[in-house]
Amino acid sequence: MDVVFPHEHILLRFNGHFGAVGDTAERWSVGVHMGLPTAAPAYDPVKLQTLVNAAQTAANTLHADAGIAAGTSAWLDYVSGAQIGVLGKYTPAGQLTVISPTTPTAGSGTSVMPWNTAGVVSLRTAQPRGRGSNGRLYWPWLAAAVVGTTGRVSQANVTNRLTWFTQFINALNTAGNAYSAGMKVVVASAVGSGGFFTVTKIRSDGRIDSIERRENAAPSTWSTATIT
């Protein structure tokens, strides 16, 4: 079944890598949809570049802050942006992906978790349940400190991340409005007739998520012990 959205929207992707500043083997990325509930934004490649650049500035601030605890071995490299059509493909088909001009930004905090470790921020809309009610935004959390008695990250750390992600999404909304009046971060649904639902709240908790596909480029190094 084809992916069907009701109309065009903008997809931003935040792209990074793990390791040292020049490493390229292990990469991560986070996608954010921006759109209007009832209309397509007017496609403008010049304004799209401005939007992508603003998203990069907001993401650099987010990623580098100590409250996010992304870890010094998690790097944010660049932001890309494109207009996506009703079938989930580039529209217009000949457009080029817009890339932000930037240098890699390291996260903060000593990296103590595996590279596939991420925190989840739930994107909530006015829909109480079902399609378009909830999206998920993953971000590296390599410097997360786990409380030994609970096995989870402290409430203070969760609160810090929510504070910074609130500012981050507000900054994206401001940049989205400059691109096309009223455009904001949305949960994009391709179920049924599809829909775009504006994010009105975010939430998170102390559980750490694991995304194995983030740590699959480097081959495993096996060690063997002999049993006598």
Per-residue pLDDT of the chain (228 residues; tens, 9 = 90+): 556 888 999 999 999 999 998 887 889 999 999 999 999 998 999 999 999 999 999 999 999 999 999 999 999 999 999 999 988 899 888 888 999 988 899 999 999 999 999 999 999 998 888 777 889 999 999 999 899 999 999 999 999 999 999 999 999 999 999 999 999 999 998 777 678 999 999 999 999 988 766 666 777 777 889 998
d(CA 47, CA 37): 20
d(CA 77, CA 75): 6
Handedness of CA 134, 138, 144, 146 (dihedral sign): positive
Query: So what's the pLDDT on residue 212?
Result: 67
d(CA 226, CA 4): 56
Residue 68, token pair as written in the block: 């996010």
Query: So what's the pLDDT on residue 80?
Result: 97
DSSP 8-state assignment for residue 136: E
Query: So what's the pLDDT on residue 2?
Result: 59
Ramachandran angles phi, psi of 86, nearest 5°: -65, -25
Cβ contacts of residue 134 below 8 Å, gap of 6+?
122, 123, 124, 125, 187
Query: So what's the pLDDT on residue 194?
Result: 75
CA dihedral of residues 143, 149, 151, 155 (deg, nearest 10) = -60
72, 104 contact by CB (below 8 A): no
